[in-house]
Amino acid sequence: MAMVRIPTAWRGLSGRQGEVRVPGATVGEVLEHLGRLHPELGARVLDERGAVRRYVNVFLNDEDIRFLEELATPVADADRLSLIPAMAGG
């Protein structure tokens, strides 16, 4: 199972957990399982079509999944996914 790192601002949606172990063979499967475990968190990460929301960056270890195979990127048990919400302000 991969480890998913939850940003501080979203930890209230994951039972105050900073990291969650989630099964899945691809990034997409891991995020779908995460959404089943924590539906409110899943809704922040994936849209109704199952795509990563545009204001969320997902990293597999230190690589942005947009530069890999996106949701089809394979995930190993020792891998770490990081969810990074985009920041905006003025």
- pLDDT of amino acid 87: 77
22-61 pLDDT, tens digit each: 999 999 999 999 999 999 999 999 999 999 999 999 999 9
Q: How confident is the model at residue 90 (pLDDT cuts 50, 70, 90)?
A: low
- pLDDT of amino acid 86: 87
Mean pLDDT over residues 5-26, rounded?
96
pLDDT of residue 9 exceeding 80:
yes
Residues in the chain: 90
C-alpha–C-alpha distance, residues 43 and 74, integer Å: 22
Percent of the chain with pLDDT over 90: 94
Q: How confident is the model at residue 84 (pLDDT cuts 50, 70, 90)?
A: very high
C-alpha–C-alpha distance, residues 86 and 35, integer Å: 19
Residues 6+ apart with CB under 8 A from 52: 31, 45, 46, 58, 65, 70, 71
* Mean pLDDT of the residues in the chain: 95
C-alpha–C-alpha distance, residues 90 and 15, integer Å: 31
